[in-house]
Amino acid sequence: MQRPSLSFRNRTVLVTGASSGIGREAALAFAAAGSNVVLVARRAKALATVAARARKSGAKVLVAPADVTKPAEVAASFRKAVKRFGSVDIVVNNAGVLIPSEVVSMKGADLQAMLDVNLFGALHVMQQAVTLMRKQGRGHIVNVASLAGRRGFSPLGGYCASKFGLIGLTEALRTELVGERIHVSVVLPGVVDTAMVSALNEAPETESMWPQALNMPPSWVVWSIFLAIRFKLAEIAVPPGGALLEKLASLAPGTTDTLLRWATDAAKRVGRSTRPGK
């Protein structure tokens, strides 16, 4: 992908979920932009591969494996970052999981797993970031949520619930930090071409839900993260205007339900027609 050209030279950026998808692309983009990069995820081997690529651009990289659902491990990753680089200027709070299911058949354990990572994991990262940034007197937190956090739809009800919660926490934290030099942004992507979404497209219950040809490249989200930091934006949707449309749709939820059913049926037809052999 083409790297964003906005310079973040000599700033230290901690990225969660950095082993794949949006997190990996964000980490590589910040490395190319001159940042020191701290890679956080559970899979140390995958992080090592990302680190090797990031170092090719001349970046200083720290691999700090951690499970964001465990506060002690999150705290340790921040301590390692400060020990190595002296500060953490930017946090990209990106780690997330998605387990599709209709609400009526959803397993409690699956919902809990999504809440543990997407909501509580993000909370643990935010708490550590704010504690450190208050000592530093500055910083920027970017929470990667989803347009699914503005409008619930099936079979992603549990994922939507976790992202609704993340948006709520982000907005509340932003009000708590008024007057401080700590900025909080939320990025709301639509459907992005990542391994998580590819798995969704291949699952029997969701394979026809959305045509892969319409997936956005991760670079679109990376650009949005860069812009959110550069211009201190409270919220940015990918594609632009997506969140506004969802807010407007909330004024007529019944009509929106009908439109979503029509759109889903149309997407399924497009998905079937673009499969190999069709």
- What residues are labeled active site? 159
Cβ neighbours of 93 (radius 10 Å): 30
The per-type count for the chain, helices as H runs and strands as E runs, is 10, 7
Please measure the distance between the N-terminal and C-terminal CA atoms of the chain and give it in whole angstroms. 30
Q: Which residue is listed with tokens 């930017």?
A: 90
91 in Cβ contact with 125 (< 8 Å): yes
Token pair recorded at residue 219? 């670079």
- What residue type is assigned to position 155 of the chain? P
The one-letter amino acid code at 110 reads D
- What is the phi/psi pair of residue 139, to 5°? 155, 170
Contact 60, 32 (CB under 8 A): no
* H-run or E-run covering 91: strand 90-93
3-state SS assignment for residue 144: strand
Structure tokens at 51: 């680190």
Q: Which helix (H) or strand (E) holds 267?
A: helix 253-273
